[in-house]
Chains A and B, each alone.
Chain A
């Protein structure tokens, strides 16, 4: 157990060798991890409790931590040695109860860089429990920690007391065991401060965001050009051509391979389950998802995100959230599924509702971005900018409206700004993999299912029929040809594929802007929808869905007036 961000998960994975990542996102420590470790030849169970500042829970995660504490036989209290004073509060509370405790003084290596000297022997003596310095990242001290677990105990002299008395006690302990060498503000400190001061921090944030997307594109394109495209064109396509010949023509061929374009399989337009259905998510979207989460994990592990949250807090607070609201947006730009999960980190129902609804409306995931580029790339960059600009404006406008109309509280930002770290490649790779796995395991099955349904409906003629019924609406309201309504309906299941329907329609660039924007806005993908039902509950999700569809209709109609002038 320990405070958030002290390296509990790293200590845990050192003890168990399990595959855990160190961060306080949902899907990591909040959903706690369990493992086994060897102790004196015996296998014992070990649990990675959610981070908590005290034993008086203020949220769900801390409640879980308290429950785990009560059930434990021995507690390993992981402490951030660079921030001993604050961490000792929980330690004292733990020692007050009748549970054997051992302390791991983690991040020990960093105390020296910071000019902090801790007398761990003295601390051990004062608290009357073992205290072992550790550097979990490198594994230093872990063996010693394990060997001393049996010495863990509950000291007699520390009794339950008041909040005030605890802080006084901590003050006196700190005086005896810690010496901080006065340190002038170094250049690094000054640069660190510059990234949070508004005058320099805002331009810095803009540069970082643009640089990040440039890196994402660079990595993503390289993956496509050197790995994914060669694989699909040289290896996969011949197999599909064989299969196409084997199946001949008919229902099965239409579902699995789709339509042949000029007598050949076209991965973008054939629409088959194993052609377009597989190529778009794996060949086009996956490389960018990998690139995106790799870059994001670096940003995250470096300690920049809390600073970004601080800099953008004033904007997000006006949209009914606080600075942390940028995290679901960032995650959602990769795949909306982890984005939707990250809305959990916001405290109140109102904040989560706004964050999730805006995510679904105005944050395009990589698949949607691929769709936007695929549909408009040939017309020119300015049209792509139009779509993203519309989405940005929508995020802000809808946020302002929702903040005014949704009942509930939206508490202010309150978060720790960790010092900058050099990200470790191992941790970053692990984190990237965990998130890519979300996409592979949760989103791809839905994508597959989506294309299957689309094909069945298409072959059965249902889509065309719906398209005909709705075509007067699409024409009158959005200025799009009637057949575009097929794409809009298809977008409920697979937006990325809807482009394949739009492309042959010979839309003008501005019509395409309208169609693509609406496709992005009106409904998230089925996978995100399923996750959001879990996160928000069915009632709130229905409300959110109504808001999404209404927004899409309004946006389509408004864009028609602005862009087409009729």
Chain B
């Protein structure tokens, strides 16, 4: 369990990671919770669009697209 913590934006597509922390205000956290992005959840990064485009992740078998800025506030540790 010495995996490094890094922002979601740095995870290579195809990898699986676990959410460690979501940085941001109450409203922001809540918004992400609603889409299943909760601390401790496992997610798979499906794609990262070029030119600072959004990140798409799969969580609970569902895919969600979130902007680059938002993804930068989600800290994860890579599982594999």
Residues of A within 8 A of B (CB): 53-54, 56, 58, 82-83, 85-86, 89, 114, 116, 163, 167, 180, 193, 196-198, 201, 306, 309-311, 313-315, 317, 322-323, 411-417, 419
Query: Contacts A83-B60, A416-B35, A417-B64 given: A196-B54 contact, CB under 8 Å?
Result: no
Residues of B within 8 A of A (CB): 13, 27, 30-31, 33-36, 38, 46-54, 56, 60-70
CB <8 Å contact, A196 and B46 = yes
A108 to B68, CA, bound (A): 34
Task: Please give, as numbers and ranges, the residues of chain A lying within 8 Å of B69 by CB-CB distance.
Answer: 412
Task: Please give, as numbers and ranges, the residues of chain A lying within 8 Å of B61 by CB-CB distance.
Answer: 82-83, 114, 116, 180
CB <8 Å contact, B50 and A314 = yes
CB <8 Å contact, B65 and A83 = no
CB <8 Å contact, A193 and B34 = no
Sampled A-B contacts (29; CB under 8 Å): A58-B31, A83-B62, A85-B36, A89-B33, A163-B30, A167-B38, A198-B49, A198-B50, A306-B65, A310-B47, A311-B49, A313-B53, A313-B65, A314-B49, A314-B50, A314-B52, A314-B54, A317-B52, A317-B53, A317-B67, A322-B67, A323-B65, A411-B67, A414-B35, A414-B64, A414-B65, A416-B35, A416-B62, A416-B65
Task: Please give, as numbers and ranges, the residues of chain B lying within 8 Å of A322 by CB-CB distance.
Answer: 67
Closest to B71 in A: A412
Contact of B53 (CB < 8 Å), options: A83, A180, A198, A416: A198
Task: Please give, as numbers and ranges, the residues of chain A lying within 8 Å of B67 by CB-CB distance.
Answer: 313, 317, 322, 411-414
A414 to B36, CA, bound (A): 13
Task: Please give, as numbers and ranges, the residues of chain A lying within 8 Å of B30 by CB-CB distance.
Answer: 54, 56, 163
Contact of A414 (CB < 8 Å), options: B13, B38, B46, B66: B66
Contact of B63 (CB < 8 Å), options: A89, A114, A163, A416: A416
| Central interface residue in B51, B52, B56, B66, by most chain A CB within 10 Å | B56
Task: Please give, as numbers and ranges, the residues of chain B lying within 8 Å of A114 by CB-CB distance.
Answer: 61
CB <8 Å contact, B65 and A310 = yes
Closest to A174 in B: B60
Closest to B69 in A: A412
CB <8 Å contact, B34 and A86 = yes
A-B interface, 6 closest residue pairs, ranked by CB to CB distance from nearest: A412-B67, A314-B53, A417-B63, A53-B34, A314-B51, A310-B65
Task: Please give, as numbers and ranges, the residues of chain A lying within 8 Å of B31 by CB-CB distance.
Answer: 58, 414
Closest to A82 in B: B61
- Closest beta carbon of chain A to B4's beta carbon, Å: 25
CB <8 Å contact, B68 and A412 = yes
Task: Please give, as numbers and ranges, the residues of chain A lying within 8 Å of B47 by CB-CB distance.
Answer: 193, 196-198, 201, 310
CB <8 Å contact, A310 and B56 = yes
A311 to B31, CA, bound (A): 22
- Closest beta carbon of chain A to B14's beta carbon, Å: 9
